[in-house]
């Protein structure tokens, strides 16, 4: 148990997922974790469901925290940081899951030299299957990284990267679930087109994607090697693979990651303007 006094600023989907993961993993008691949000109805629901203290004004609770998690939109970040600057203490750890915003910007905006760990989880945190990456900004230490790692391990798998790679992480795994949802939807539609009932097609498409991912993860084999195992000479799969290559599936997915990465970099610039 970390048993830290925590404040979570932002009770949206990702904030709620982290809250649930932290409590389910027993990292700190519910009474030690205060959630801050501007929406009273959302706070009422979180207090009822999880028994955590709630507040609408971050200034009233940040001063007593050891660790502050920032889970707000990039466009509202400066307002939040400016509102708490006077009550922040230099030793407090800040963990940011704000897409595109460099941790050094948060540290410098607060003006107290706080350690900051920047993280990029994804929406699968809601089912404890997130792919998250974390990076530390000086003066953050190994201990600070370990704290952040424990939090994100409570909702999935965590890797450590240099911060220069976090925009790419955003483009790949941060936005990646949306790409896979489109793949599942398209596979389902393909099944319907060739005569399958939609509910059957959806179950088969979903399990196919899940099973394929599980095989890659558990065997450690390269996806190309696994693909070769199901592409028998002159068979149905190689015919379909040829069609996918001709229509540019691989290139489209690569371009999607690049485009989302570039947008993540843009968000840092947008945040700085506010």
Q: How far apart are CA 112 and CA 110, in angstroms?
A: 6
Domains and CATH numbers, the chain: 6-166 (3.40.50.720), 176-264 (1.10.3730.10)
Band (pLDDT 50/70/90 cuts) for residue 222 is very high
pLDDT at 239 over 90: yes
Give the alpha-carbon dihedral of 81, 85, 89, 92, to 10 degrees: 0
Whole-prediction pTM: 0.92
Q: pLDDT-derived band of residue 272, with 50, 70 and 90 as boundaries?
A: low
Calculate ∠ Cα 33-37-38, nearest 5°. 155
pLDDT digits 0-9 by tens, 21-49: 999 999 999 999 999 999 999 999 999 99
Average pLDDT, stretch 113-126? 96
* Residue 248 φ/ψ region, left for φ over 0, alpha for ψ in the -120 to 50 degree band, beta for the rest: left
């Amino acid at each position: 148990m970390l048993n830290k006094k925590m404040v979570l600023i932002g009770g949206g989907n990702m904030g709620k997922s982290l809250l649930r993961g932290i409590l389910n993993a027993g990292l700190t008691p519910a009474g030690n974790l205060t959630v801050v949000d501007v929406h009273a109805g959302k706070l009422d629901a979180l207090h009822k469901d999880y028994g955590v203290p709630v507040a609408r004004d971050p200034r009233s609770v940040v001063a007593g925290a050891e660790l502050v998690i920032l889970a707000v939109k990039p466009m509202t970040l400066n307002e939040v940081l400016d509102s708490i600057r006077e009550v922040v203490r230099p030793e407090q750890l800040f963990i940011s899951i704000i897409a595109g915003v460099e941790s050094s910007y948060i540290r410098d905006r607060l003006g107290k030299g706080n350690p900051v760990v920047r993280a990029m989880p994804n929406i699968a945190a809601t089912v404890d299957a997130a792919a998250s990456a974390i990076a530390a900004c000086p003066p953050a230490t190994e201990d600070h990284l370990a704290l952040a790692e424990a939090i994100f391990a409570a909702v999935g798998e965590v890797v450590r990267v240099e911060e220069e790679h976090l925009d790419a992480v955003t483009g790949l795994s941060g936005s990646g679930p949306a790409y896979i949802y489109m793949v599942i939807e398209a596979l389902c539609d393909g099944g319907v087109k060739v005569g399958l009932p939609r509910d059957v097609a959806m179950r088969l498409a979903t399990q196919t994607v899940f099973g394929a991912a599980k095989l890659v993860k558990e065997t450690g084999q390269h996806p190309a090697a696994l693909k070769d195992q199901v592409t028998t000479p002159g068979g149905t799969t190689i015919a379909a693979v040829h069609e996918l290559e001709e229509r540019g599936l691989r290139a489209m997915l690569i371009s999607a990651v690049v485009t989302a990465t570039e947008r993540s970099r843009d968000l840092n610039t947008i945040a700085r303007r506010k």
